[in-house]
């Protein structure tokens, strides 16, 4: 994955585009063989970024360099239309041509790129066999299941040997069971793809399983980048914190003490200046009376709501620090947790992580980190 | 089933079928074979089928790109152009014929030039019949195909582009197959309209047996002298067109 010997990424893009009042400004660099996930909520601009890469939406500014070639550079009036870009796209709902068989769908790309009918069909058959659909060459798209259609779409995009493979929510159209199998298989194919891969998804699990590196996009900007471990351990926005299931707050730190929301918390890490504080809901203990014992952060909170969360209950707390706490049903019954009830919340200092706001987010030699993280 | 729908549906069907029943009731079944063998019947039928088919081809070749233009290209005055395309629908066909004469007639806007430059004369020829039929029938095709194009998902064209297809290839290999049912439906409507065309044809192309006398013209001519002959001619036109339309319909619904 990491190629320290090659400082030039295969894809070097700074995507600036406008779409109906929405402004996208995302820097993206992807090495050969690397899979990068653009992860973000709906409307974050992920699909616009993908369309800009594919040439379906022109850039307003910035640049798009793939394998050393300028594909889109408004300030130099350079623009390559989608049909001449070495890019394969797997669309969200696959967009298999309904009037063509699976084989002819896959052969469509090679045919357009100069292969004769026989050669194109041979390529198509080889790809269908690779995705495990050798017996479905003659099937029409509507005769295929969702998972099969997804694999045909992948084969169709890969059959042109793209330098850059783009996938738009590749698993979103599948039911939960099919998704599990398809995700594993997709991971295998993406790992085998020698070119760069950019994957757009709003599902953190897809991103974590399929991608080597995450680029979190919110409101058209990159808010965080890094590998899965970095992003899940140190979220930098509420969206990422929710995705990975952490309580996240921003405050001012001096050593192990972080001032946040009218409280002073003791953290496991020593930081100076603006800092994030994060702790999992399971680390929040609730007590009917003020508990004793030090190294603990303790405050009085009000129950705002209670929901099922797996085998436990997730309690939303109001107060000086709005957080979520996970408690067992037995504990909840004992505490009589109903909205409006006052309880004491406690978090061990050892489980309270603090990290600076301004520091680089990626620690994996990520070339996209400087300037891309939207750091203040 | 709601009676409020069934009753008007039944009335509508009766309204459409009753005139056909009247036609059948007055058909001189006894003398039918001789009348069918009468000179001119077969000639007029053949001319009708030929001109309607050629007119339909003309409409497809010109109308599909026109429909594409209206459906896919933003340009100033598009609404006006769309309204102009439907003019032959509301124009009395006779007026259409007169208008064609004013353009393609010997002294018309283009007719004089066509005559002087290429020696081509359109009025009162079989080509003139095709022209008149295409003029009145084209809107049916354009409207049907434009509707189909608007309903077709343009993202398929984007998918084709990412696979290396230019605009023209994407149109012929993806868009056109996707809207093929719309084109077929439009072509059938167009053919049926061309087959029944009367007013523009008689005005622009005249009524010369073997050359410009199509079935509707033959029926009209026969009406003045011999009602039974007119009925027989109508019956032939009806039978042939219904047989062809029903045959095509079965072929499509049975197809993929």
Q: Give per-residue pLDDT as tens, A239-294.
A: 888 888 889 999 999 989 999 988 899 998 999 989 999 999 989 999 888 887 66
For chain A, the distance separating the N- and C-terminal CA atoms, rounded to the nearest angstrom, is 29
Cβ of A99 within 8 Å of Cβ of B180? The answer is yes
Q: What is the pLDDT of residues A185-205, one digit of tens each?
A: 999 999 999 999 999 998 888
| Contact status of A97 with chain B (Cβ, < 8 Å) | yes
Distance CA B51, CA B131 (A): 9
Beta strands in chain A (DSSP E): 11-19, 22-30, 35-39, 61-66, 69-73, 78-79, 87-90, 164-168, 196-201, 213-218, 221-226, 247-260, 263-279, 284-287, 296-309, 312-318, 323-327, 342-348, 353-356
Let me know whether A171 and A192 are in one domain: yes
CB A310 within 8 A of CB A367: no
Comparing alpha-carbon positions, the chain B residue that sits nearest to A140 is B256
User: If pLDDT is split at 50, 70 and 90, which confidence band does A359 have?
Assistant: low
Whether A5 maps to a domain, the answer reads no
The chain-wide mean pLDDT, for chain A, equals 88
Pure H helices in chain B: 3-25, 32-37, 41-72, 78-85, 87-90, 93-104, 111-118, 126-151, 155-162, 167-170, 176-195, 199-204, 215-225, 227-254
A13-21: average pLDDT: 92
CA B1 to chain centre: 36
* CA-closest candidate to residue B165, choices A52, A89, A170: A89
Cβ of B162 within 8 Å of Cβ of A54? The answer is yes
Distance CA B178, CA B167 (A): 15
> Residues of A numbered 44-73 whose beta carbons fall under 8 angstroms of chain B's beta carbons: which are they?
54-56
Let me know whether A233 and A147 are in one domain: yes
* CA-closest candidate to residue A149, choices A165, A125, A126, A173: A173
Comparing alpha-carbon positions, the chain A residue that sits nearest to B256 is A99
Cβ of B161 within 8 Å of Cβ of A112? The answer is no
Let me know whether A234 and A253 are in one domain: no
pLDDT for the residue B91? 93
- Other C-beta atoms lying within 10 Å of the C-beta of residue B236: 21
Comparing alpha-carbon positions, the chain B residue that sits nearest to A143 is B256
| Contact status of A99 with chain B (Cβ, < 8 Å) | yes
* CA-closest candidate to residue B135, choices B62, B80, B78: B62
Q: Which of A290-294, A360-364, B38-42, B165-169 has the highest mean pLDDT?
A: B165-169
pLDDT at A367 over 50: no
Give the CA distances from residue B53 to residues B60, B177, B187, in Å, rounded to whole numbers and listed in that order: 11, 21, 9
* Beta-bridge mates of residue A167: A90, A199
Q: Which domain holds residue A306?
A: 245-356
**Residue numbers in B near A140 (CB within 8 A):** 256
pLDDT at A362 over 70: no
Task: Write down the CATH number for the domain with range B41-254.
Answer: 1.10.3720.10
Distance CA B26, CA B235 (A): 11
pLDDT at A365 over 70: no
Q: Where are chain B's structural domains?
A: 41-254
Distance CA B89, CA A135 (A): 51
Let me know whether A227 and A269 are in one domain: no
Comparing alpha-carbon positions, the chain A residue that sits nearest to B154 is A95
The CATH number linked to A325 is 2.40.50.100
* Beta-bridge mates of residue A169: none
Let me know whether A136 and A47 are in one domain: yes
CA A87 to chain centre: 21
Whether A373 maps to a domain, the answer reads no
pLDDT at A316 over 60: yes
Let me know whether A189 and A314 are in one domain: no
CB A150 within 8 A of CB A91: no
Structure tokens given for A52? 């800009």
Structure tokens given for A72? 């889109």
Distance CA B125, CA A346 (A): 98
* CA-closest candidate to residue A248, choices A20, A239, A293, A8: A239
The CATH number linked to A198 is 3.40.50.300
- Respond yes or no on whether ipTM tops 0.85: no
pLDDT for the residue A295? 60
Structure tokens given for A129? 């066999």
**Residue numbers in B near A108 (CB within 8 A):** 160, 163, 165, 173
Let me know whether A217 and A272 are in one domain: no
pLDDT for the residue A363? 39
Which of A74-88, A121-135, A269-283, B239-253 has the least mean pLDDT?
B239-253
User: If pLDDT is split at 50, 70 and 90, which confidence band does A361 have?
Assistant: very low
What is the total count of domains within chain A? 2
pLDDT for the residue A238? 86
Cα-based torsion angle of the residue sequence B73, B77, B82, B83 in order, rounded to the nearest 10 degrees: 170
* CA-closest candidate to residue A3, choices A43, A46, A40, A32: A32
* Beta-bridge mates of residue A249: A277
Let me know whether A208 and A313 are in one domain: no
| Contact status of A173 with chain B (Cβ, < 8 Å) | no
Distance CA B216, CA B220 (A): 6
Distance CA A306, CA A288 (A): 16
The chain-wide mean pLDDT, for chain B, equals 91
What 3-state DSSP class applies to A323?
A: strand
CA A366, A371, A374: angle at the middle one, nearest 5? 110
Comparing alpha-carbon positions, the chain B residue that sits nearest to A51 is B158
Whether A33 maps to a domain, the answer reads yes
pLDDT at B252 over 80: no
pLDDT at A77 over 90: yes
Residue entry with tokens 């005055």: B77
Whether A89 maps to a domain, the answer reads yes
A321-340: average pLDDT: 88
- Other C-beta atoms lying within 10 Å of the C-beta of residue A37: 27
Distance CA B148, CA B184 (A): 11
> Residues of A numbered 102-121 whose beta carbons fall under 8 angstroms of chain B's beta carbons: which are they?
108-109, 112-113
pLDDT at A143 over 50: yes
CA B173, B178, B180: angle at the middle one, nearest 5? 100
**Residue numbers in B near A81 (CB within 8 A):** 161, 166
A78-105: average pLDDT: 96
pLDDT at A116 over 90: yes
Q: What is the DSSP string of A81-97?
A: -GGGSSEEEE-TT----
B16-36: average pLDDT: 89
Helix (H) or strand (E) holding A210: helix A204-210
Residues of chain B contacting A, Cβ within 8 Å: 153, 155-156, 158-166, 169, 173-174, 177-178, 180, 256
B239-250: average pLDDT: 81
Whether A149 maps to a domain, the answer reads yes
**Residue numbers in A near B174 (CB within 8 A):** 97
The DSSP 8-state label assigned to residue A288 in this structure reads S
pLDDT at A370 over 50: no
Let me know whether A138 and A180 are in one domain: yes
């Amino acid at each position: 994955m990491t190629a320290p010997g090659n400082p030039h990424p295969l894809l070097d893009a700074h995507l600036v585009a406008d779409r109906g009042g929405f402004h996208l400004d995302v820097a993206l660099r992807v090495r050969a063989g690397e899979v990068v996930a653009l992860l973000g909520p709906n409307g974050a601009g992920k699909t616009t970024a993908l369309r800009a890469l594919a040439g379906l939406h022109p850039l307003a500014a910035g640049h798009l360099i793939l394998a050393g070639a300028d594909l889109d550079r408004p300030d130099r009036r350079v623009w390559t239309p989608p049909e001449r870009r070495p890019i394969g796209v797997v669309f969200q709902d696959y967009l298999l041509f309904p009037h063509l068989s699976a084989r002819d769908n896959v052969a469509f790309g090679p045919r357009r790129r100069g292969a004769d009918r026989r050669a194109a069909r041979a390529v198509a058959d080889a790809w269908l066999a690779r995705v495990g659909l050798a017996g479905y060459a003659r099937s029409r798209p509507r005769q295929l299941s969702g998972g099969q259609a997804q694999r045909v779409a992948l084969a169709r995009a890969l059959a042109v040997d793209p330098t850059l493979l783009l996938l738009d929510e590749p698993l979103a159209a599948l039911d939960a069971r099919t998704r599990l199998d398809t995700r594993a298989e997709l991971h295998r194919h993406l790992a085998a793809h020698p070119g760069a891969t950019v994957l757009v998804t709003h599902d953190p699990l897809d991103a974590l399983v399929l991608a080597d590196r995450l680029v979190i996009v919110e409101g058209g900007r990159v808010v965080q980048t890094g590998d899965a471990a970095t992003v899940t351990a140190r979220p930098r926005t509420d969206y990422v914190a929710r995705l990975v299931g952490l309580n996240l707050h921003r405050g001012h730190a001096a050593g192990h003490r972080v001032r946040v929301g009218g409280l002073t918390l003791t953290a496991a890490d020593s930081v100076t200046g603006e800092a994030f504080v994060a702790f999992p809901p399971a680390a929040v203990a609730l007590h009917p009376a003020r508990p004793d014992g030090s190294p603990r952060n303790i405050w009085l909170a009000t129950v705002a709501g209670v929901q099922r969360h797996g085998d436990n209950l997730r309690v939303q707390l109001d107060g000086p620090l709005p957080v979520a706490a996970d408690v067992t049903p037995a504990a909840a019954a004992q505490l009589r947790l109903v909205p409006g009830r006052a309880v004491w919340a406690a978090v061990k200092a050892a489980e309270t992580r603090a990290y600076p706001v301004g520091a680089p987010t990626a620690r994996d030699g990520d070339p996209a980190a400087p300037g891309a993280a939207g750091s203040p | 089933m709601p009676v409020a729908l069934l009753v008007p549906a039944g009335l509508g069907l009766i309204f459409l079928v009753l005139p056909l029943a009247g036609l059948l009731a007055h058909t001189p079944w006894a003398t039918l074979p001789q009348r069918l063998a009468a000179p001119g019947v077969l000639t007029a039928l053949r001319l009708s089928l030929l001109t309607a088919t050629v007119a339909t081809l003309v409409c497809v070749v010109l109308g599909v790109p026109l429909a594409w233009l209206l459906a896919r290209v933003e340009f100033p005055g598009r609404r006006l152009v769309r309204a102009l395309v439907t003019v032959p629908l509301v124009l009395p066909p006779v007026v259409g014929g007169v208008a064609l004469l004013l353009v393609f007639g010997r002294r018309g806007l283009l007719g004089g030039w066509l005559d002087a430059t290429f020696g081509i004369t359109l009025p009162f020829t079989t080509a003139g019949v095709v022209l008149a039929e295409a003029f009145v029938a084209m809107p049916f095709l354009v409207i049907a195909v434009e509707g189909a194009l608007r309903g077709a998902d343009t993202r398929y064209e984007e998918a084709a582009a990412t696979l290396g297809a230019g605009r023209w290839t994407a149109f012929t290999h993806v868009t056109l197959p996707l809207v093929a049912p719309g084109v077929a439906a439009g072509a059938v409507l167009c053919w049926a309209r061309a087959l029944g065309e009367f007013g523009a044809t008689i005005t622009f192309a005249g009524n010369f047996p073997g050359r410009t006398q199509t079935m509707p013209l033959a029926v009209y001519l026969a009406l003045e002298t011999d009602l039974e002959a007119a009925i027989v001619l109508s019956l032939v036109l009806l039978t042939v067109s219904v047989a062809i339309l029903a045959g095509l319909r079965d072929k499509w619904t049975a197809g993929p």
